[in-house]
Amino acid sequence: MVVGGGIVGASAAAFLAGAGARVLLVERDGLAAGASGANAGGIWHPVDPVLVALYRASLPLYRELAAGSNVFRMGERPAGLLEVASSEAAVRDEAAAMAEWYPELTPAVLDPAALRQAEPAVADGLWGCLLDLGYPIAPASGTYAFASLAESRGAVVRMGRAATLALAGDSVIGVRLDGELIPCGAVVAAAGPWTPGLLAPTEFRVPIRPLWGVVVEVEPATPLRHIVEEIDSGAGAATREAAAGRSRPDRAPAPDAAPEPPSVERVHVSVVPTPGVTAAGATQLDAEPDPAAWVEPVLLQAGRLLPGLLEAPIRGVRCCPRPLSADGRPLIGAVPGTRGLVIAAGHGPWGISTGPESGRLAADLALGRAPAIPAELDPARFA
């Protein structure tokens, strides 16, 4: 059984079925209904040594998927990420940090003239750091393609069905769907921010919460050549911290946190030229927002860097809860204290970038194999 129809669950089902297992994938809403379908639309380098290993292993899995899919498309080469700021010092600091930890990304500093030549849509007076990374994709396409691959290998996909675990002592014996017990030999819990509720019958408390993101779809007159992202103050120091593996603990919100009023200060600018439209975002909000109320703050912030977006027709807005763990890294492994239960959740904003390898590792565990999973991802670190 695989519970969760996002990128991790769909890929796990495909790898399980490919290994000859009988597989049932259950999704309470629809495929890619959460962050796997409402993300900004890109496969990114996560700038974290543990997550980078998942990212690097996911790229060939995506390429293999694209080779046999009519749904999923991925460029042969990265589109390139332009990190931009008004401060020359901030840009040079970020470029130096990237060169120190990830020289394969070939960071290059662009002065305002060179930046405008590389990306004519950017505002005057900005500096940029160009990185060799970033694959824009249609947001839900990878999830749909892995689900289709799973079905072609014999897996069964049921949507609109909420699952609950069925336990006997300290072992999983199956899941219940609408009160009916479906026996199984193993369960892969890949339900994103809903995973804590799924695992509630066990003694393991899952430290995952939703972090809400709002993304606005626009159609600029001239498509962007690169992914464009704003450099925060102290970006170089933050990059060195992340690259060295010193993850920052999550600040969990109060249980009754109220929706935050729309504000440009809560928007981190990231603009991705996905197929068909350009995605501008995004927010990091503790409580579920009203997406329409955040359209203006998102576009105002993005317009500081890319003025043309302010005149572009708005094609839609999407909102999703990212499943954020207490230390910012996913939980991939056997659930402590419960036999036959594997968890693969808590990827935060890195689910699309690391999902296929996460699903493959979870599938191997469910099959009784012993894949090499970094200790930093072991759920037992929270036991």
| pLDDT of 232 | 78
| pLDDT of 43 | 96
Which pTM value belongs to this model? 0.95
| 299 touches 280 (CB < 8 A) | yes
What DSSP string runs through 183-239?
E-S-EEE--GGGHHHHTTTSSPPP-EEEEEEEEEEE--SS--SSEEEEPPTTHHHHH
How many degrees, rounded to 5, is the angle at CA 225 between CA 312 and CA 124? 70
| pLDDT of 142 | 97
Is residue 247 scored above 60 in pLDDT? no
Share of the chain above pLDDT 90, in %: 89
Per-residue pLDDT averaged across 302-318, rounded? 96
Query: Where residue 313 falls among pLDDT bands split at 50, 70, 90?
Result: very high
Lowest mean pLDDT among 60-64, 101-105, 227-231, 252-256: 252-256
Q: What's the CA gap between 159 and 151, in Å, rounded?
A: 13
| pLDDT of 94 | 95
Per-residue pLDDT averaged across 19-26, rounded? 98
Is residue 326 scored above 70 in pLDDT? yes
Share of the chain above pLDDT 70, in %: 95
| 29 touches 7 (CB < 8 A) | no
Per-residue pLDDT averaged across 361-374, rounded? 96
Query: Where residue 254 falls among pLDDT bands split at 50, 70, 90?
Result: low
Map out the domains of the chain as residue ranges.
2-74+139-207+327-382, 81-132+209-246+255-325
| pLDDT of 66 | 97
pLDDT tens digit string along 117-159?
999 999 999 999 999 999 999 999 999 999 999 999 999 999 9
81-132+209-246+255-325, what's its fold? D-Amino Acid Oxidase; Chain A, domain 2 (3.30.9)
| pLDDT of 234 | 65
pLDDT tens digit string along 181-200?
999 999 999 999 999 999 99
Indicate the SS3 state at residue 275. coil
Return the closest-CA partner of residue 184 out of 173, 170, 168, 199: 173
Is residue 29 scored above 90 in pLDDT? yes
How many degrees, rounded to 5, is the angle at CA 198 between CA 197 and CA 203? 85
Query: Would you tell me which CATH number, out of the four given (1.10.10.10, 1.10.260.40, 3.50.50.60, 1.10.3720.10), belongs to the domain 2-74+139-207+327-382?
Result: 3.50.50.60
Per-residue pLDDT averaged across 215-229, rounded? 95
Per-residue pLDDT averaged across 91-116, rounded? 96
Per-residue pLDDT averaged across 107-113, rounded? 98
Is residue 246 scored above 70 in pLDDT? no
